[in-house]
Structure 1
Amino acid sequence: MTERALLTLTQWLSPAFPLGGFAYSHGLELAVSEGQVRDAEALEDWLGAILTRGGGRVDAWLLSMVLQGADADEMAALAEALAGSKERWAETFEQGTAFARTVAEMGGPRRPPRALPVAVGEAARELDLAPKTVISLYLHSFTSNLVSAGVRFIPLGQAAGQRVLARLHEVIDTVAEEALGATLKGVSTGAFAADLNAARHEDMDVRIFKT
C-alpha cells in the first residue's frame, strides 16, 4: 500500500467527489415516510440489512470481482441485472457515470459509463492497494451517504448519525472480508424491503431524494 494511492482512493470516495450521492437515499426516504425507520436504532438495522443482504453486498461483490480481474463489461451487465428497480439502477449507473467522467477529467483514462462499483473497481486496479482496503472504504462511503440521508430526513442529530456509522464498522469489515471470495455463482441480493421501497419510491407525491 502506498500513501499516495490511499489518498487517491480517499478522494474518489469522499463526499466532495462530484457524484451527486447526496441526492440518493436507496429507498430510505420511503422507509422513513412510512414509519419503518424512526430512530437511530432502526436506521442501524436497516443499513445493516442492506450491507449484508442487499445493495451493499452486491456492490462489494461486483467491486471485488472487478478488482481481481473479472471482465468489466460482463460485470456491468451483471450489475444491471441485479438492480432490483429502475431507481436502483439509476442510482448506481448515474453515480458510476459521474465517477468515470470525473476521473477522466482529472487526467485518467476515459472509460465507458458503468455502475458505480464497476467503475470504481476499474479505476482502482491501477492503485497499489489491497482489494479489502478498496472494498472496505467503498462500503464506508456507501454507508456514510445513507447515514447522512437519515440524519437529514428522520431527522437525527449529527452525533447520533456518527454513532450509527461507527457501530456499522464491524459489519462493513465482515462484508468486505466475505467479498474477497466473490464468485458469479454466489452473488445475490435478498433485502426485499429495501428493494420494494426503491421500486415504490418513484410514486411518492413529494420526494426530496431521487431514489
Structure 2
Amino acid sequence: MADDEGEPGADKTAARAARRERKRDQSREEILHAARRVLFRHGIGAMTLDAVAREVGMSKTGLYYYFPSKDALVFELVHGVIEAQAKAVQQGVAQASDGGGALRAIIGETVTAFAPRLDDFRLAFLFGQVAGAGALTWDRDQFERIRPLNDLLFAKATEMLVAERGERTPRAAVEPRLLAFLAYLSAIGLLTMKGMVEPMDDPLIYSDEQLVEGLARVFEAAAAPGGDR
C-alpha cells in the first residue's frame, strides 16, 4: 500500500522534471534562433552574447545558463546545420544501388540542402575563415561531437565502394573513403562558387542541376570498373 501511495508523488516529480526539460529545450532553441537572426542581420562582428540576449529578451546572465560563451553558441549553430545536412546525405545514400550512385547522392543531397540556404552554408563552412584567426575556438569535446557526423556522410558510401572493389578494379585508384570525401568536397566547391557570384548578380552559366549532374557523372565514372591495363 505504501508503494501505491508513493507512486503519485513520484509521477508528479517526473512530470515536473519533464516540463522543466521541455522549457529548457524551448528556451535553448529560442536563443539559437535569435543568434541566427543577429548573425545574418548584422554580421559576425555584431554577434555578441549581449546582442543575442537583447534579441531573445533575456539577461546576459540568463543566457550564460544555456551557453557559457560565444564559441559554445556558434558551435551549436554550426553543429545543427551540419547535422541536418549529414542526415539528408545519409538518407540519400541509403537509396543508392551502387557506389557510384552513393557518390551521386553525396553531391546531390549536399547541394540540395544548401543551395536555397547559402547563409547556412556560410555559417557551417566559412564562419571560421571570415571571423579570422583566433576568433573561434572549439574544445576537444566539441570536435568529438562533430566527428560522428562524418560517418553519416561517408560510412555507407565507403562500405559500398569497398564491397565493389572486392569484385572489380575501379577506374580511379583512389581509396574509397577518400573518393567519398572528394565527392563531398566537389559539392562544397560548387556551393562556394555559387555563393561568390550570386550576390554580385553574376550567376554561373550552368544551372545547379547541370553542375550536380556533371560532377555526379565524373564520380560515377571514377567508381566504375576500369578497362584492360
TM-score scaled to structure 1, two decimals? Answer: 0.33
Instruction: Flag the structure with more relative contact order, 1 or 2, with Cα contacts below 8 A and sequence separation at least 6.
Output: 1
The structure with the larger Rg is: 2
TM-score scaled to structure 2, two decimals? Answer: 0.31
Q: Pick the structure with more helix per residue.
A: 2
